[in-house]
Structure formats: C-alpha cells, structure tokens
C-alpha cells in the first residue's frame, strides 16, 4: 500500500485489497478481545489458526513474492511476525487460565460443561462465517462484473439477510431453544453458499463473466483474481457448511439444561443492574418485625426497604423526644430475600468490645420503648 502510493499511477485495487486486509485485522483483534472477556477457548483456537495462515502468507510474500526488496516493507513485516509469534505463545497459558467464569455460571456438571463448550464452538464458527461472507461479498462486488443489474440487487439483499439473521439465531434460536427458527436459519443459510458455488463454477468458464483487472493502473491478471476469489469463496462455503452442522448439533442439545443456565445468568445480570440503580437506603415501604429480649438482646429483622430500629444491650429502646437514638451492641442476624427469589443470610456477632452502632428511629414510644408504629414482637432466646 505504501509502495503503491509512491507510484505515478497508483492502483485502486491495491488500496481496496489493503482496506479489506485492515478490516480483517480489526476482526481478528475483536476475536481475541471477545474470547478473553467470555473465556471462549474455541475463539482463541480460531485466532491461532487464522494468525498462522496470515503468517504463512506474509512469509510467502517476503521469501518468494519479492516484497522484501524494499526496507520499508521488510521491517514492518518482521515486526508483525514477531508480535504474532508472541501472541501465539502467550495464548497457551491464557487458555489454561480459563474456566473460573464457566464454573461460577454452570457449576461442576460435566454435561453442562460439554454443552456450553459446544455453544462456544458454535459462536466461534458463526463469527468466522460472518467475516468470510462479508469479505466475499466485498471482493465479488469489486472485481466481478455481473450480466444484469438485478444480480447485484439479489446478491446484496441476500448477503444482508444472511448477515443480519445470524445475531438473531444466536439469541432466539440457540439460547432460547426455538427449533423452528433454527430450521428457517438452515434453509436461508443454503442460499448464499449455493450462489457462491454457482458463481465460482461459471467464473472459470470462458466468456461468461468479465473480471475487472484495471482499477487505476492495477497490474493484477485475471488468473490471480480468479484464484483469490475462488479460494476465499471455497473457504466461506466450507465455514458455512460447518456452521450449519454446528447448528444441528446445538438443536439436538435442546432440553438438556443449557437454556436454564442462560436464563439464570440473564436474570442475575438484570438484578445486579437494578441493585446498582437503587440508593443505599431505600425510601420504599417496608414490612419489618423485630424481636427484643431482656437478657441477650437479639434482634432479627426482615425488610424490603429501610428498617430503622435499635435496641440497647438490655433490649430497651431509648427515646429522646420524637426522634430516638440508640446504641446497639447485640448479636444481629439478618435475612435478606433478593429479587431473584433466592434466600441468603448474613450474620454479624458483636462482642462487648465492639463499637456500638447508633441508628436513628422515628416515631413515638412510651417509656418502656417496646411500642413502635410497626409490629414489635417480644420473645426470649436461649
């Protein structure tokens, strides 16, 4: 690309191919980041395979393509090779460190682990298929001259439908286990590979299609363009077939518990978002019950909002006017029911040496301090 810009008659095709290569690099970086965030081993493996392929292409260009004659090309190429090797070496301990997120999400069930690994493999193949289909479409529109204008329209609309339905099949088809949607996806998925296979066959027939070789001084021959397009189309066709096979495997795994895992994770994420939006002390109405004893002063509370209460070490509520302030030095047990319906408990035992907790209480009380506008229950704990 740099050498092309220095030419008196720069080639538009070189700029286009360089842009496609840059887009592929961005997609490769996305694979790596997404794989690390989601601990997807299959995407890391895919990243390694694609990196090895790109390294082979770069080495071929340096060794036999004459690209190493210019220092401005050789130095960046060697740096790229060095970083690619470092990434592949570092990916091995990275893969070995995966597993904690999956254990927290699924548990120790080997069956669910196998199902989830299959789902990760499906996601990896789906994203590779998306990138391959996009690049084949871009190269096809650029280099191939179709006979009729409506062929461009059909191919473009079909490509958009094929790319647009892939995110839908992930969420609604696989995660929600809708077999009908998966079957529709399989039928649509046959269209683009069939069209690619048809075009590649007739591309090699003499006089059927014109290959654009002159894009602002491009010196690429028709044979080079045909070979490049055919190899990429064949690879995209193979990836699409693998994707269809993976979709069928995921369909056979429906009803084995993976849907509940996704549903539980989604609810947990929503609950975390809701809790993060709530203030520390809620002003919502609450239902509280307190238990105070005269001897050990144990207080138990269950609340959905803010429960302001206090008892001293003798089990008494001390009132100062209409607003009471109390020192609490008790064994406090609190039961909390979260939004997801699971019960959890947390206990804090305060010894006599611990600092007292001062909690304000609003309301009118008598001298004994046992009457509150909420329900107060007395009991003795031994």
pLDDT band at 325 (very low <50, low <70, confident <90, very high): very low
Q: Please, are residues 256 and 131 in contact by the beta-carbon 8 Å criterion?
A: no
pLDDT band at 276 (very low <50, low <70, confident <90, very high): low
Higher pLDDT, 123 or 276: 123
Averaged pLDDT, 58-78: 69
Which pLDDT score is estimated for 56? 79
Residues 6+ apart with CB under 8 A from 233: 136, 140, 196, 197, 199, 200
Tokens of 353: 């040496």
Burial of residue 17 (number of CB atoms within 10 Å: 0-12, 13-18, 19+): buried
Higher pLDDT, 289 or 156: 156
Higher pLDDT, 290 or 74: 74
Which pLDDT score is estimated for 310? 46
Averaged pLDDT, 98-111: 73
State the angle between helix axes of 258-277 and 110-143 in degrees (0 to 180), rounded to the nearest 10. Answer: 80
Q: Indicate if the pLDDT at residue 275 is higher than 70.
A: no
Note the pLDDT tens digit of each residue in 168-219: 777 677 877 778 888 888 887 777 667 777 777 777 776 655 565 555 455 5
Query: How far is residue 292's CA from residue 37's CA, in Å, rounded to a whole number?
Result: 49
Q: Please, are residues 171 and 265 in contact by the beta-carbon 8 Å criterion?
A: no
Query: How far is residue 60's CA from residue 44's CA, in Å, rounded to a whole number?
Result: 24
Q: In this structure, how many other beta carbons lie within 10 angstroms of the beta carbon of residue 246?
A: 20
Which pLDDT score is estimated for 288? 41
Note the pLDDT tens digit of each residue in 343-353: 333 333 333 44
Q: What is the mean pLDDT of the chain?
A: 65
What does pTM read for this prediction?
A: 0.58
Q: Indicate if the pLDDT at residue 301 is higher than 50.
A: no
Q: Which residues pair with 376 in a beta bridge?
A: 290
Pairing of strands 343-349, 331-337: antiparallel
Tokens of 25: 């690099």
Q: Indicate if the pLDDT at residue 143 is higher than 50.
A: yes
Query: How far is residue 90's CA from residue 87's CA, in Å, rounded to a whole number?
Result: 5
Higher pLDDT, 69 or 28: 28
Q: What letter would DSSP give residue 340?
A: T
Query: How far is residue 240's CA from residue 262's CA, in Å, rounded to a whole number?
Result: 25
Query: How far is residue 370's CA from residue 291's CA, in Å, rounded to a whole number?
Result: 10
Q: Using DSSP, state whether 140 is helix, strand or coil.
A: helix
Which pLDDT score is estimated for 271? 58
* Burial 62-79, CB ≥16 within 10 A → b, else e: beeeeeeeeeebeeebee
Q: Which of 46-55, 134-143, 272-281 has the highest mean pLDDT?
A: 46-55
Q: Please, are residues 289 and 375 in contact by the beta-carbon 8 Å criterion?
A: yes
Query: How far is residue 238's CA from residue 229's CA, in Å, rounded to a whole number?
Result: 14
Which pLDDT score is estimated for 42? 82
Q: Using DSSP, state whether 312 is helix, strand or coil.
A: coil
């Amino acid at each position: 690309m740099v050498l092309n810009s220095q030419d008196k008659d720069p080639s538009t095709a070189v700029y286009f191919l360089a842009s496609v290569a840059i887009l592929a690099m961005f997609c490769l970086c996305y694979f790596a980041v997404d794989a690390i965030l989601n601990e997807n081993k299959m995407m890391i493996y895919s990243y390694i395979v694609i990196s090895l392929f790109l390294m082979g292409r770069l080495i071929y260009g340096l060794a036999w393509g004459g690209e190493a004659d210019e220092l401005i090309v050789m130095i960046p190429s060697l740096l790229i090779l060095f970083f690619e090797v470092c990434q592949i070496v570092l990916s091995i301990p990275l893969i070995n460190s995966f597993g904690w997120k999956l254990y927290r999400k699924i548990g120790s069930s080997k069956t669910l682990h196998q199902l989830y690994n299959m789902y990760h493999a499906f996601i990896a193949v789906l994203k590779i298929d998306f990138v391959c289909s996009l690049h084949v479409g871009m190269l096809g529109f650029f280099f191939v001259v179709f006979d009729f204008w409506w062929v461009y329209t059909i191919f473009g609309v079909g490509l958009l439908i094929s790319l647009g339905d892939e995110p839908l099949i992930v969420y609604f088809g696989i995660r929600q286990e809708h077999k009908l949607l998966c079957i529709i996806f399989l039928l649509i998925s046959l269209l683009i590979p069939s069209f690619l296979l048809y075009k590649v066959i007739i591309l090699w027939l003499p006089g059927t299609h014109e290959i654009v070789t002159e894009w602002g001084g491009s010196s690429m021959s028709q044979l080079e363009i045909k070979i490049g397009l055919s190899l990429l189309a064949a690879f995209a066709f193979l990836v699409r077939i693998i994707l269809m096979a993976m979709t069928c495997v995921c369909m056979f795994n429906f009803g084995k518990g993976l849907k509940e895992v996704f549903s539980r994770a989604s609810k947990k994420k929503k609950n975390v978002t809701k809790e993060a939006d709530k203030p520390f002390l809620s002003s919502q109405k609450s239902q509280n019950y307190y238990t105070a004893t005269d001897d050990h002063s144990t207080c138990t509370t269950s609340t959905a909002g803010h429960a302001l209460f206090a008892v001293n070490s003798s089990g008494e509520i001390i009132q100062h006017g209409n607003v009471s302030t109390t020192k609490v030095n008790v064994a406090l047990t609190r039961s909390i029911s979260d939004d997801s319906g699971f019960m959890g408990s947390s206990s804090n035992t305060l010894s006599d040496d611990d600092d007292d907790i001062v909690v304000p209480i609003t309301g009118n009380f008598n001298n004994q301090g046992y009457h509150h506008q909420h329900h107060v229950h007395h009991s003795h704990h031994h």
